Amino acid sequence: MKFLLLIYEWLQKNLRPPSAFSWETLILLSLFSFYMEWLARSLYLKNLLDNLGWIFLIGGVYWATTATRFLRIGYKAKPWTPGFPLSPWITGALVCYYLFNRGIGEVRPESIIYWPTISALIYAIPDFLQENGTLKSPPPDRRQFLVVVLGTQLLLSCWFQFHFLVQNLVAQYPTVLVEDFNKSAFVVKWETPQTTTPRGVDILENMEPQLRDRLSSKPWPQVERMLLRGKERDNWIKSIAKKTKDQLSPPAEEDALWQIKYDVKKFKSSGYNLALIALWNGPRSNPQQSIKNYSLTKYCQITPIYPQGSLATKPINSPQTSPTPVSRVECQPVKGWGVDPPNNRRDSFIRT
């Protein structure tokens, strides 16, 4: 019992606010609300206490950071200069976390985008409220300063928005990084360029295993029919292309902008040359150029071979029959835009 009394006395001495109307009271109320939320069973009550806790916390932090002179840029005691407060931007960060990130465990882009604008609005609140809570109009010289502050923070929010827009574009359309950004007004080279390839290379390379499964080591007459029948050939090549795009990881919206075509030519001797062609229909730095300049090609040679039978497994007096040829598939690496050395360039990291 004596131990509990000592704890109570310590808490009363160290955590008791100097007055009921103080920022310490708001902080303690927020801690009490979060503690009661942890004990609550009802979902409605949990949400209510959580919101109250955040409101008390935001109010307490704003009050505390506004009252201290250490969070003011250019503050001087003699001659007295109030300086520029950082409190609205600290409070704005808490408000953005409360509005956009609470309960998800990660920082969403919206919280960073709206942070400068919300902070500027918090900064302007004291200029429109009197001590008794009634509205007032700021003096003309103060209005001009508030317009400058709000305008600069809106501009900063726009730049944050543009940054996330470009990063999302790069994530969903990675092939645009193959382009030359030397003439870009916003995207600049930041690190040493690294070797990269368009996403169409991944599509064509991943089509090869499925092509082998369909055509390799099959009876040659069957393979010839698959290559010569135009409608059937269109269907299974389109099926392979669609399946490949669906299985690519990570998925990207630009896959729909890659058009897969093909060309089949017969060798003079025997066999066929199947050219898989990927055409980029997405954004280009030079739209005047022909789409052929933004194409990738993978050549696959499909030829018949005669398997060597083992004499030990054949009876001595068995009739000699010519073996049925089977198909063999040999593919070359992808060639074309962004792969050949003259066009192989990329910015490994971009800043906006």
Mean pLDDT of 325-341: 86
pTM summary value: 0.72
Of the listed ranges 51-60, 84-93, 231-240, 318-327, the least confidently predicted one is 318-327
**Average per-residue pLDDT for the chain:** 83
Structural tokens at position 36: 């009661």
The pLDDT of residue 114 is: 96
The pLDDT of residue 82 is: 76
Q: Which helix (H) or strand (E) holds 236?
A: helix 230-247
Q: What is the pLDDT of residues 224-239, one digit of tens each?
A: 899 888 888 999 999 9
Of the listed ranges 49-58, 89-98, 278-287, the least confidently predicted one is 278-287
Whether 197 contacts 345, CB under 8 Å: no
Owner of token pair 């150029």? 289
Q: What is the pLDDT of residues 217-226, one digit of tens each?
A: 889 999 989 9
The pLDDT of residue 171 is: 85
Q: What is the pLDDT of residues 73-102, one digit of tens each?
A: 877 777 767 788 899 999 999 999 999 987
Query: What distance in Å separates the CA atoms of residue 155 and residue 132, rounded to the nearest whole number?
Result: 33
Q: In the chain, pLDDT over 90 holds for what percent of residues? A: 43
Strand spans (E) along 94-224: 188-189
23 pLDDT more than 70: yes
Q: Tell which residue, 230, 286, 238, has the closest CA to residue 259.
A: 238
343 pLDDT more than 70: no
Categorize the per-residue pLDDT at 10 as very low, low, confident or very high, splitting at 50, 70 and 90.
Answer: low
Taking CA 135 as the corner, what is the angle to CA 129 and CA 137, rounded to the nearest 5 degrees? 85
Strand spans (E) along 105-235: 188-189
With left for phi above 0 and alpha for psi between -120 and 50, is residue 250 left, alpha or beta? beta
The pLDDT of residue 164 is: 92
Q: In the chain, pLDDT over 70 holds for what percent of residues? A: 84
